A and B are shown apart, each in its own frame.
Chain A
Amino acid sequence: MELRKTTVHQTVEAVLEGEITAHQLIEKTIKNCSVLNEGLNIFTSIAGVDALEQAKAVDRKIKNGEKPPLAGIPVAVKDDLCYGVLPTGLGSAAFNEFMSPVTAAVVERLMDAGAVVIGKTNLDDMGQGSTTLSSPTGSTVNPWQAGRTAGSAGAAAVATGICMLAVESDSGGALRQGASHCGVVGLRPTTGRISRYGLNAHCSSFARVGVTAFSSENISGILDLVSGFDQRDAATAVCREGISEIIKTPGSEDMTIGYPVTAFDHLEPDLREIFEQVRDQLSSRGYRIKEIDLGLLREGLQAYYVLALTEASSNHARFDGIRFGKGRETDSLEEMYRQSRSEILGKEARRRSIFGTFLLSKGNYDRYYRQALKIWKLVRQHFEAAFNECDLLMLPVAKNLPRPLKGESSYLDQWSDDLFCAPVSLSGMPSLCAPAGQIDQLPIGMQLVGPPFSEKTLLAVGSTSGPRDMGESPLSQ
């Protein structure tokens, strides 16, 4: 069974019907995973025996007449999501042996449904970035072109066919840019839809747990399984009385897609052309295209960084070397803090915490932090206004092609890559990244953004837009 060519639904059917046992499926997956991981550096740890045990347990359940809805489905979990069975690395050199007492809510839900965790996927320094370039264990190679980053390792795990699903965090756009760079589909859900309990968020206001898969259908099938109220994440309280979903079916309903013209001006012509083609295809498939105004993208990006950095400085203050992580034995408390923290936080994380502290300090607080809170509100209002004119809107995902693995790019250039993703994060609205086309074989994704709880509409539209099949990524064999 080739995972890339079947759907989650078909695979579960095959396992439930006994065509293949969960154990056989996972055994094969792990073998494949070990081989591919050598060259691509996707995983920080691979489950091995534990995954096989889990698979056996799923097979036993099936024997007992149960029908786990994700029976045997191999899943990759980003390494900022805690999982008690494998080390939780967090993107820190000091946490490579850390066994977390916490298991993330989303992982629990997937496992309850019969999914099997194959491994933890690589990430930037303390989860801060959309490239994996700052990972303490080296960056993840893009399966489409060896010289470039994958953006997110979870996307690479799916693109290579190792796993059928990846659960990943997305604050400023890591999940979406990974999906874009690897030619797969990634969903950043509405605020509060999926519990973040167990996620080591660097920026709690914007961090979401999302799902990456090979197709929109695969995400549709599992979205409800991982959604809903969880006492442990206050934001999910919006789901307590059930979600009022916006569900529209392409073709059967009149649908308007907003096209923020000026947003695409930020792109190089060859990239812009791809989106214009998609726009025209959507139009020819019966969608109404409406040009809209969506201002403050650049300022939204800047506000995102002010807020992300300030929150990171506080969120990462818990890493003091006393209760977890590798601590340093020193003579003075002050030295213990300084040494432990500079070891736990890498260069990028140090930069962000220090800048965040600067921005929150007296004198800078009103100038930067409060202004960012206001821009946050304005950006959200802009998006809300846009959805008075359209059902959903399309935006680019990445400003550039995936960054080269070698060669210096400045931290600020990398932050600027989030130009189209960060403002969407500020809006709190769901965003689906789906393939839009290719340049020199490298996949390019687009964002479909909708009003709160319109995920099912986005997934439905996502499955009919863009190229049918981009072929197989060259590095996935």
Chain B
Amino acid sequence: MDNVTDGLEKAIKAIKIGVSSTEQEQLYLELEEFLAWLDPLLEVDTAETGQLLFGHDAVNVLKGDYPRQSDLAELQEAAPNFAGGFYLVPKVME
């Protein structure tokens, strides 16, 4: 199995998105094309360059320790499967 096929399969599994086999085949071709498109990016010599991690220059944005309750009804109404105060998910085996 080549790296792209393997990597694509792992990525789909890790990100937990259901895709049909047709879509996966198409994604494979697109990913190969995309990676080739990125080639010039890899050619830039960045040996001496640092990296940026943040798009903003803010530091130490900290807030006070004052608790507050939220409107729970509003939050819980949005849940597709909510009962008895809990969010429900299919049975998890541990």
- Do A and B come into direct contact in the complex, CB within 8 Å? yes
| Chain A contacts to B: CB under 8 angstroms | 98-101, 191-192, 204-206, 231, 234-238, 296, 298-299, 302-303, 305-306, 313, 317, 320-327, 329-339, 341-342, 345, 347, 350-351, 353-358, 361, 363-364, 367-368, 370-378, 380, 411-412, 428
B11 touches A235 (CB 8 A): no
Q: In the complex, which residues 30-82 of chain B have their Cβ closer than 8 Å to any Cβ of chain A? A: 30-31, 33-34, 37-38, 40-42, 44, 46, 49-59, 61, 63, 70-71, 74-75, 77-81
Q: Which of A192, A204, A317, A378 contacts B44 (CB 8 A)?
A: A378
The answer to whether B51 and A235 touch across the interface, beta carbons within 8 angstroms, is no
User: Contact size class for B?
Assistant: 35 or more
For B87, the chain A residues whose CB sits under 8 A away are 322-323
Q: In the complex, are the beta carbons of A353 and B17 less than 8 A apart?
A: yes
A322 touches B40 (CB 8 A): no
B11 x A323 contact (CB < 8 A):
no
Q: How far is the CA of A363 from the CA of B87 in the complex (A)?
A: 37
Residues of A within 8 A of B83 (CB): none
CA distance A363 to B6 in the complex (A): 12
Q: Are B16's CB and A371's CB within 8 A? A: no
| Given A296-B44, A329-B81, A371-B42, residue A341 in contact with residue B51 (CB < 8 A) | no
Which B residues have a C-beta under 8 Å from some C-beta of A?
3, 7-8, 10-12, 14-19, 23, 27, 30-31, 33-34, 37-38, 40-42, 44, 46, 49-59, 61, 63, 70-71, 74-75, 77-81, 87, 89-92
Selected from A98, A337, A368, A380, the residue in CB contact (under 8 A) with B78 is A98
Closest to B92 in A: A333
Contact A99 B51 (CB under 8 A): no
- 11 A–B contact pairs at CB < 8 A? A101-B78, A231-B63, A235-B55, A299-B40, A322-B79, A350-B17, A350-B23, A357-B11, A368-B41, A371-B44, A428-B55
Q: Which of the residues A313, A322, A361 comes within 8 Å of B7, measured between beta carbons?
A: A361
Structural contact, B17 and A342, CB atoms closer than 8 A: yes
